[in-house]
Structure 1
């Protein structure tokens, strides 16, 4: 008789297996691993995160576990950092150790280990990041060329608004268009009309990657627990997400092919030309690393990051003006004093508009776009705040917690631009507001984004007044997937007199 045929023995084996599985589930990677909740098998703490996971995690950190804590997301133990000091210690002072990138299925399934955003830490990645910073710096903050592009695009958008005076427009959509045109001119030297069917399709796919009302919540779960993609409902959301990425990949492949065909080493027009120059005429190592496949994914990353960050920050800025008309009145007076009705905005004159700078910085604080920033991965064993974090551990900086830290900001939930203005009426830039992250993984397009946000914001309000469509002001709650976006922003513009 087989021992398993005996009913008592069979039950005992089942119980032992369950206990073993539970023990494996409950066990942490190391005795000194950061403390934190375990949740339930398969899902971890995901079902208990609520509608705003960053807030839930920060509350657990403040009330029980401390600023270096762990949570189980799906089947993985993840470390979360929840204040500025530990973020600075990890991402800046120990940058190399915390600059890895885990495999993020919903993105890496398309990009593999190409591009820069979701590529793991390596000499190859560092070379690509350095190259991108070098090229973008030539276009970026303090350089007249990027301001010319942004102001020119702002003029196009002013004409678009003027042709739609008194009509409802989807401002979120148009902000995607204007910021998309800036990054497209920098990356592959092209600008598109706002009714261009093909480019609008690409931008719509990118917008819905993060602002999909139907699949948004499921995408958040899939980001942290990709094994859920095999379950009904999640499978559909996952496949839609991949399809939207593939559309931008196909679009970018065509742009790369055009640049390869028309390349002239004596006429470097844009980012793709600069990349191809390195590919053909750089060092032998660069020839190995600078491939067409890498350029396609790099272009996709630039388009994704370059449109989403700037357009969503601007959307929040205009939405908050609807809720805080007194801020709008102050901004209008400041624009009139600094630029008049026809002056050309420039970030080099930001000292003349301290309230606008304070307002934008407060928007970046109170509406953190990436509340739980892109996952990092440790590249070696080490300690942080007396907690041991093994190599290859996923680490998530909680930027929202930094921006809502009552130790830094009094009444952090309150929207108050004046907290960034000193007693002399000067704008005070804060290193505690980090919408572009910190350390080696900071966003390389930060300089370009700051120019875009300032100039587009000023140019629109310089010429026009606006109100909510049907006098129904959208909620400030927004939609939270992997980023935090306004759920809608339908407005009506009128000429300013």
Structure 2
């Protein structure tokens, strides 16, 4: 009898079975997530066309360097309204003055929301002022901030005197360099931030206040990090928060430091508060908070106060600071422009008296130069991202509710339909044949519509008084043998790369 021996199968261990099952489960989940991501990248019916996305990451890599320039170039291919895929997040881009005006002005309320991006949620929980969703919370905080700017700031005649006083602190600090080269960023940032500080805290900070300077430095860093490639990746794939390295982690660490600092400083400046007798924005906010305690729908809270104060400091510092830094750079770069500015300032301010806002109407060239700096240097090239509050129809395209909207203000400033030779720096474009200042329709440095900059009036006051006071006292020039780069440093705002300048005292 022949016996047949079958091979013996090795017993499968429990650990091996669990490992195999885990691998299979992981692959299945990964496959499901991949399919889900690819489905998210499908354009909705009637959605604007756009550049072809890379699977999974979409068009994110295209925004890594000079996103405003890339978006303007794409409008030549896809039209003034086109779409992007930001890793499964659908975005609509508005290019040129006509498209921006149609959406942000004619359909202002429809385009007044903020997108619920993971980064916004992480940083401010969609609360505060700038990043809040369109609704009661935004209305309450916008109204309070606008009233505070009028009551404690630009609406008061004595506030002009406070700005003028800060101008003198500023030029005196410049004078300490005795005409030798220095980097003006620190002084300009401190001087400008102090104007907003007067409204928020009721007082200025000295230029050597180390703690406050550190906070401003962190704010400036976060403005750059907020539109880095890592920030776009985090919005598309929030799970990368577990990755211990990357610029998104630096952003979060900075935000935590700022939060703690603001909590401390708000407590300090709220001491001695008398109810309904506000001394500054913090007091006014706390009054509203106490009055609304019984209202469950109120958006006022200690946390939203912290977010709002931080946002007001950033908004009130970054844009005006960078405008003045660019203005100093271009004035020194073009001696003929500086000579004409000096002549106009000396004629109007005969005898060396300090400038006032009433002098603005008699200084059309000063106004023209400042406006050209705002246009040409594109301080906030992409504005702050918006979202649709409801389904929208624009130029025949259907844009669903909640879609992220990017308004390319850079493309407005360089719109050849409205600007002749937009690539040329020319203050003359804001003057008529008689030398009078002329307002231009396609000039939107402060954006448009419901979400336009609430500090525009204050910013214009600051820019005129700081710029005029500085040029009344100094002649600006670069150190011998040096010419600074005109390439901007990329971020939510475009700022000049660090440069040195000599402020030579003029003989008046």
Deviations 1:423-462 (A, max 9, x none): 2211112232111111111111111111111111111111
C-alpha distance in structure 1 between counterparts of 2:297 and 2:37, whole Å: 50
Which residue among 53, 63, 68 is the counterpart of 2:67? Answer: 53
Contact 1:25 1:41 in 2 (8 A): no
Which residue among 327, 338, 342 is the counterpart of 2:348? Answer: 338
C-alpha distance in structure 1 between counterparts of 2:389 and 2:339, whole Å: 50
Which residue among 440, 449, 452 is the counterpart of 1:439? Answer: 449
Q: Tell me which residue corresponds to 1:301.
A: 311
1:25–1:244: structure 2 CA closer, same or farther, 3 Å change rule? closer
Which residue among 194, 197, 200 is the counterpart of 2:207? Answer: 194
Which residue among 474, 478, 492 is the counterpart of 1:468? Answer: 478
The TM-score with structure 1 as length reference comes to 0.89
Q: Does 1:253 align with 2:240?
A: no
Contact 1:141 1:450 in 2 (8 A): no
Deviations 1:287-327 (A, max 9, x none): 93322222111110110110101101111111111221211
In terms of mean alpha carbon deviation, does 289-298 or 174-183 score higher? 289-298
Q: Tell me which residue corresponds to 2:87.
A: 74
| Structure 1: gaps (5+ residues) | 1-12
Contact 1:67 1:81 in 2 (8 A): yes
CA displacement at 1:341 relative to structure 2: 5.7
The TM-score with structure 2 as length reference comes to 0.87
Q: Does 1:325 align with 2:339?
A: no
Contact 1:315 1:489 in 2 (8 A): no
Contact 1:279 1:286 in 2 (8 A): no
1:340–1:106: structure 2 CA closer, same or farther, 3 Å change rule? farther
Contact 2:474 2:506 in 1 (8 A): yes
1:189–1:87: structure 2 CA closer, same or farther, 3 Å change rule? same
Q: Tell me which residue corresponds to 2:467.
A: 457
Q: Tell me which residue corresponds to 1:240.
A: 250
In terms of mean alpha carbon deviation, does 68-77 or 354-363 score higher? 68-77
Which residue among 142, 160, 176 is the counterpart of 1:129? Answer: 142
Task: Give the 5 Å matches for 1:135-284.
Answer: 135-141=148-154, 143-211=156-224, 217-218=228-229, 221-222=232-233, 225=236, 227=238, 229-230=240-241, 235-265=245-275, 267-281=277-291
Deviations 1:26-49 (A, max 9, x none): 5212x2101111320232123234
C-alpha distance in structure 2 between counterparts of 1:26 and 1:281, whole Å: 46
C-alpha distance in structure 1 between counterparts of 2:421 and 2:464, whole Å: 26
CA displacement at 1:336 relative to structure 2: 0.7
Q: Tell me which residue corresponds to 2:43.
A: 28
| Aligned partner of residue 93 in structure 2, secondary structure | strand
In terms of mean alpha carbon deviation, does 469-478 or 400-409 score higher? 469-478
Contact 1:220 1:481 in 2 (8 A): no
In terms of mean alpha carbon deviation, does 340-349 or 239-248 score higher? 340-349
C-alpha distance in structure 2 between counterparts of 1:278 and 1:142, whole Å: 21
Contact 1:83 1:401 in 2 (8 A): yes
CA displacement at 1:470 relative to structure 2: 5.0
Contact 1:211 1:487 in 2 (8 A): no
Number of residue pairs matched?
A: 479
| Aligned partner of residue 365 in structure 1, secondary structure | helix
Q: Tell me which residue corresponds to 2:320.
A: 310
1:230–1:267: structure 2 CA closer, same or farther, 3 Å change rule? closer
In terms of mean alpha carbon deviation, does 344-353 or 385-394 score higher? 344-353
CA displacement at 1:71 relative to structure 2: 1.1
Deviations 1:204-233 (A, max 9, x none): 111222357xx9854564576464855969
CA displacement at 1:356 relative to structure 2: 0.7
Aligned residues: CA RMSD:
2.7
CA displacement at 1:419 relative to structure 2: 0.5
Q: Does 1:347 align with 2:362?
A: no
C-alpha distance in structure 2 between counterparts of 1:461 and 1:158, whole Å: 10
1:160–1:416: structure 2 CA closer, same or farther, 3 Å change rule? same
Query: Which has the larger Rg?
Result: 2
C-alpha distance in structure 1 between counterparts of 2:231 and 2:353, whole Å: 43
In terms of mean alpha carbon deviation, does 269-278 or 296-305 score higher? 269-278
| Aligned partner of residue 137 in structure 1, secondary structure | helix
Contact 2:391 2:399 in 1 (8 A): yes
C-alpha distance in structure 2 between counterparts of 1:236 and 1:186, whole Å: 36
Q: Tell me which residue corresponds to 1:91.
A: 104
Contact 2:149 2:155 in 1 (8 A): no
CA displacement at 1:83 relative to structure 2: 1.8
CA displacement at 1:138 relative to structure 2: 3.1
| Aligned partner of residue 391 in structure 1, secondary structure | coil
C-alpha distance in structure 2 between counterparts of 1:146 and 1:314, whole Å: 20
Q: Tell me which residue corresponds to 2:123.
A: 110
1:239–1:145: structure 2 CA closer, same or farther, 3 Å change rule? farther
| Aligned partner of residue 413 in structure 1, secondary structure | coil
Q: Tell me which residue corresponds to 1:480.
A: 490
